[in-house]
């Protein structure tokens, strides 16, 4: 192994950056205001499946797994040298300004549904 292993906190940071970039891209594509997408993480899991080392180039893959009435679930993978090194899923809840769950605009859910994995 060349380089140093990246620990769980570092891996979590990569996933958070990937998730935020993915959502920012969807917001840009939809032309909606950012506040229409306000959400908080309800649950997140991360599984390291191989060593991830620094320095080294990594690639993240993102998709939507489920869209509910007040929440959605994303699935994410991080790859290094063509190998999956970590997997994650996160459930997010849409919120209002008082941090209460809300039903999002139809355009928000429609945008997410376009990104869903198909079986």
CATH of the domain at 63: 3.10.129.10
SS3 content of the chain, % helix, strand, coil (to 5): 30, 40, 30
What is the reported pTM?
A: 0.85
**In total, how many domains does the chain have?**
1
In this predicted model, what pLDDT tens digit does every residue of 20-34 receive, in sequence order? 999 999 888 877 777
Q: Rounded to whole angstroms, how far apart are CA atoms 116 and 11?
A: 23
**How many residues are there in the chain?**
119
Could you tell me if residue 62 is inside a domain?
Answer: yes
Could you tell me if residue 119 is inside a domain?
Answer: no
Is the confidence at residue 70, as pLDDT, over 80?
Answer: yes
Q: What is residue 73's three-state secondary structure?
A: strand
Structure token pair of residue 71: 């929440």
Of 35 and 115, the one with more pLDDT: 115
- pLDDT given for residue 2 in this prediction: 65
Could you tell me if residue 75 is inside a domain?
Answer: yes
Q: Are 90 and 22 in contact (CB under 8 A)?
A: no
First-to-last C-alpha distance (Å) of the chain:
36
> Range of 36's domain?
4-114
Q: What is residue 93's three-state secondary structure?
A: strand
Could you tell me if residue 101 is inside a domain?
Answer: yes
């Amino acid at each position: 192994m060349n380089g140093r292993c990246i620990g769980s906190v570092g891996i979590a940071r990569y996933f958070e950056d990937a998730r935020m970039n993915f959502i920012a891209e969807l917001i840009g594509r939809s032309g909606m205001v950012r506040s229409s997408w306000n959400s908080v993480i309800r649950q997140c899991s991360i599984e390291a499946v191989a060593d991830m080392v620094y320095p080294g180039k990594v690639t993240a893959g993102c998709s939507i797994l489920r869209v509910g009435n007040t929440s959605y679930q994303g699935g994410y993978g991080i790859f290094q040298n063509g190998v999956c090194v970590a997997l994650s899923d996160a459930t997010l809840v849409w919120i209002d300004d008082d941090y209460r769950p809300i039903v999002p605009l139809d355009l928000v859910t429609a945008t997410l549904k376009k990104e869903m994995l198909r079986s």
